[in-house]
Amino acid sequence: MRTRFYTHPVCREHLTPPGHPERPDRLRAIVDRLDDEPFAYLERLEAPLGDEATILYAHPQHHLDKVKMSIPEDGMARIDEDTTVSPKSFEAALLAIGGANAAVDDVFSGEAGNVFVAGRPPGHHAEKDRAMGFCLFNNAAIAARHAQRKHGAERVAIVDWDVHHGNGTQDIFWDDPTVLYCSTHQMPLYPGTGARDETGVGNIVNAPLPPGAGSEAFREALNALVLPALDRFSPDLIIISAGFDAHWRDPLAELNFQTEDFDWATGVLMEKADRLSQGRLVSLLEGGYDLEGLSASVAAHVGRLMKG
Ligand SMILES: [Zn+2]
């Protein structure tokens, strides 16, 4: 089964201030890397514009309105200390959402075996009614709901290996037993949530790791906590909130993962998807701020996805 890759040039037109880590060059680095020969058979598609109504799967109308109203006609506007919007930000967000929802459609229709979506802005910090941490809308949460509403998925699992805890995804599904949220992340670190005892209605599995934890601790957390939770939950779809900022080169954190860790983690989640979810696996870009660490990690991730 083929691996699909969605992105869109307008996702690079969501602008952030000079020196901001979440910048358009991130997508340029990824697209350039995936142009290399090993990816000749990767099926590249432009992300379609998402349906605005699907934002309401995860956020109330007033949040959607507030983000739309915040978009400036020119220049940049600030939503919080580190979250900004520019004239194309709403369109970029709709493309990130459209790519995520299309990826879900693809794995349910059998058009693709698995899919990686490189959109911006990222999503996992966006809470029900709050944009924060570079995120406006929660792409993974919307895609999970889209799988439930459009494709009749009963249970969806989101595995988040971004170095930061996905407080937004946890917030949205806190009391929803139909969605399992599993996260490995550095603690202490922004946004401060993600302790082991934050368990929702038994559907939240947090595996915080101390600074400097490294590869072995990551693999142990997946093996001991995340994979058994997936077995118990038996999801119809696995979504990866794929941040690559736990890479040792990344400037924002200190988990010190190696590039190969993302190959390994992709492989073990593919095995789970094959056994539990008819292979359905959708991966959405979250963080990753060192361009070399990011592009090498994405290459490892997508290379493994393509091995089927
Ligand atoms: Zn992050």
pLDDT in tens, 55-113: 999 999 999 999 999 999 999 999 999 999 999 999 999 999 999 999 999 999 999 99
- CB-based contact 26:120 (threshold 8 Å): yes
Between the CA of 283 and the centroid of ligand 1 the distance, in Å, is 15
Q: Is the pLDDT of residue 274 over 80?
A: yes
Residue range 118-176, pLDDT digits in tens: 999 999 999 999 999 999 999 999 999 999 999 999 999 999 999 999 999 999 999 99
Q: Which one from 125, 165, 185, 301 is the annotated catalytic residue? A: 125
Contact 20, 133 (CB under 8 A): no
What mean pLDDT, rounded, does the chain reach? 98
Query: Mutual orientation of helices 214-221 and 259-276 as an angle, nearest 10°?
Result: 10
Q: What is the pLDDT of residue 44?
A: 97
Ligand 1 centroid vs 190 CA: distance in angstroms?
Answer: 9
Catalytic residue flag (residue 125): yes
Distance CA 56, CA 293 (A): 34
What does the alpha-carbon distance between residue 169 and residue 177 come to, in Å, rounded to a whole number? 13
Q: What is the mean pLDDT of residues 274-289?
A: 98
How close is the Cα of 152 to the center of ligand 1, in Å? 30
Q: Which residues surround the ion ligand 1 when the cut-off is CB under 5 Å? A: 162, 164, 243, 245, 287
pLDDT digits (tens, 9 = 90+) for 176-224: 999 999 999 999 999 999 999 999 999 999 999 999 999 999 999 999 9
Separation of CA 259 and ligand 1 centre (Å): 16
Checking if the pLDDT of 47 tops 90, the result is yes
Q: How far is the CA of 138 from the centre of ligand 1 (A)?
A: 13
pLDDT of residue 1: 76
CA of 243 from ligand 1 middle (Å) equals 6
pLDDT tops 90 at residue 268: yes
Span 258-278, mean pLDDT? Answer: 98
pLDDT of 276 above 90: yes
CA of 93 to the centre of ligand 1 (A): 17
d(CA 173, ligand 1 centre) in Å? 19
Are the beta carbons of 27 and 7 closer than 8 angstroms?
Answer: yes
Report residue 308's pLDDT band, with 50, 70 and 90 as the boundaries.
confident
Cβ atoms 168, 125 nearer than 8 A: yes
Residue environment code for 102-133, b if the CB has 16+ CB neighbours within 10 A, otherwise e: bbbbbbbeeebbbbbbbbbbbbbbbbeebbbb
Output the six-digit token pair for 166: 């996905």
Q: Tell me how far apart the alpha carbons of residues 295 and 289 are, in angstroms, rounded to a whole number.
A: 10
Find where tokens 């991966």 sit. 283
Secondary structure (3-state) at 11 = helix
Q: Is the pLDDT of residue 288 over 90?
A: yes
CA of 163 to the centre of ligand 1 (A): 5
How many whole angstroms separate alpha carbon 277 and alpha carbon 273? 5
**Measured in angstroms, how far is the CA atom of residue 162 from the centroid of ligand 1?**
5
Burial of 178 (0-12, 13-18, 19+ CB in 10 A): middle
What pLDDT is attached to residue 53?
98
Residue 286 to residue 307: CA distance in whole angstroms: 22
Above pLDDT 90, what percent of the chain? Answer: 99
pLDDT at 248: 98
